[in-house]
Each structure stands twice: as structure tokens, then as C-alpha cells.
Structure 1
């Protein structure tokens, strides 16, 4: 059975995002041209998706917490009586804390994409045609969220 273009596009997208294959490798595996893969990557904003999946909200928060800890460690390493945070350090901690709280309370694109992938995989095992239809709608939704 010949794969439809939608099937090929879905397979190419999975390979690009999850396996880090080159465009040439994807084209060869899926049976399309490298130019088609390149066009799909550009039009579908697959680069943004790959990046958003690569770094999770938890990793971003962990990095921010580490920055706060480093600032506090730096202040604590100063001589007695000079350990108070500077205005710049305090401002940085306030901004980082605010960003952490915001990230904890909002679903990021990574979370959204991960849920979509899990749901698509689940739906595919039940009804492949509905999964294809859902995948098309999901792609439109993600593109809209990346605007």
C-alpha cells in the first residue's frame, strides 16, 4: 500500500523532532525529496517544535533556581557584615522568582506538545484514521500557539 502524503509528512515530522535525523536521511527513509522535507520543516515550524520539546519547563525552572542559589551563595561568601544582597542581586532574584511562578502556573508549549503526542499515540492504537485527522488539527493548533 502506498503511503499518503499526510502519512509521509507525519512520519517525517516524527523523525525530525524525535530522532534528530538530517533532512537527507528523512527524505530517504520516507521516500520524498530533501526539498519537500525542508519545505515541511519551514511551513510547519518544526524547528520551534523540536526546540520546545528539547527543553522542558522543568529544566528552565531548575536553571532559574540554580541562578538564585548562585546569587545567594555569592552573597554568603562575602565577609561578615557585607552579606546583604545588593539592589541588583535582589532585583534579579525577584525577577527570577516571578518568572518561576509564571512558568509553574502556565502550560508551556512543551507540555502542550507532549500531551498531544501521547494522545495521538493512544488514538493511533484505537483508530488510525481518527488519529490522522486529529494530527492535522493538532498541527494547526500548535502553529497557532507558536505565533
Structure 2
């Protein structure tokens, strides 16, 4: 793409690779760079990990946690009468599951952040393509920061 800086190409490539799930080759062709450069950007920016994080939605994560909580609770309820309470290990696990559930229910996940950024960028792109590329880079930095948690 003529007229774009290398930084702008990288930000655009990030959006196409991570949020639109295009291959490195497809992205390289689309943004006007080489596959070698794409490979370097993907590795340096940990883009594959970001992609994987997006695959597990909050609902799926919550569903898994609730299932684990329910299974442990059922196991405790099936104990013989007078022993239907959590031992220290079970209590610790229940506490950790409860904390993880609360966290997921109240905090934005990386997948949520990416989804919002994708919607905003898709809306902005026809209005101001250069601005959408600039904001894409900002979202990229924020997502990386969020992954470090």
C-alpha cells in the first residue's frame, strides 16, 4: 500500500491477522509487506497467543468454571451423612473457582476487548482509514498490556 508507513502497515497487519484471522501470507499481500516481515511481527508481538486468547470466549470460560464448581459441590453432597462438608482442599478449590467466576463476570476479557476494537475499527475504516489504522495500533498495545494482566 503506497503512502502507509511501516508502523501503519504493521498495525493494519495486526488487525487482519489477529481479529480477522487471515493467514500471514494473505495479510502480507493485503498490506504490502513480505511474509518474512509478517513472521517477524507475529513472533515479536506474540500475535499467535493473542489469537488463541480470543478463541476462548468469556461465556465458554464461565461455563467451564460453573461446571467444575457444580461437580465439586455434587461430590460433597454425595458424601455420607455427617461428612457433607468441604475438606480444606475442596474449600480452597471452591474459593478459587468462586474468585475466578467473579473476576470473569466483572472484568473485560481479552476477547471482549478485541471484539469491541474490531467493531469500532470496522465502523471507522470507511470513514477515516488512516485513523482506523492509527487506533488499531493503540488497541494492539492495550491488548498486549491486558494479556500481561
Aligned residues: 146
Distance 1:144-1:79 versus aligned 2 partners, 3 A rule: closer
The more displaced of 67-76 and 10-19 is: 10-19
Q: Where does the alignment leave 5 or more consecutive residues of structure 2 unmatched?
A: none
- Which of the numbers 9, 12, 33 marks the counterpart of 1:10? 12
CA contact (8 A) 2:17 2:27 kept: yes
Correspondence 1:17-28 to 2 at 5 A: 17-19=19-21, 21=23, 23-24=24-25, 26-27=27-28
Q: CA RMSD in A?
A: 2.7
CA distance in 1, matches of 2:147, 2:16: 18
2:75 counterpart of 1:74: yes
State the 1:38 CA deviation.
1.0
CA distance in 1, matches of 2:3, 2:132: 15
TM-score by length of 1: 0.78
Correspondence 1:1-147 to 2 at 5 A: 2=2, 4=4, 5=6, 6-7=8-9, 10-11=12-13, 13-19=15-21, 21=23, 23-24=24-25, 26-27=27-28, 32-147=33-148
Larger relative contact order (CA 8 Å, sep ≥ 6): 2
The more displaced of 77-86 and 63-72 is: 77-86
CA contact (8 A) 1:77 1:83 kept: yes
Q: Alignment partner of 2:136: what SS?
A: helix
CA distance in 1, matches of 2:89, 2:36: 49
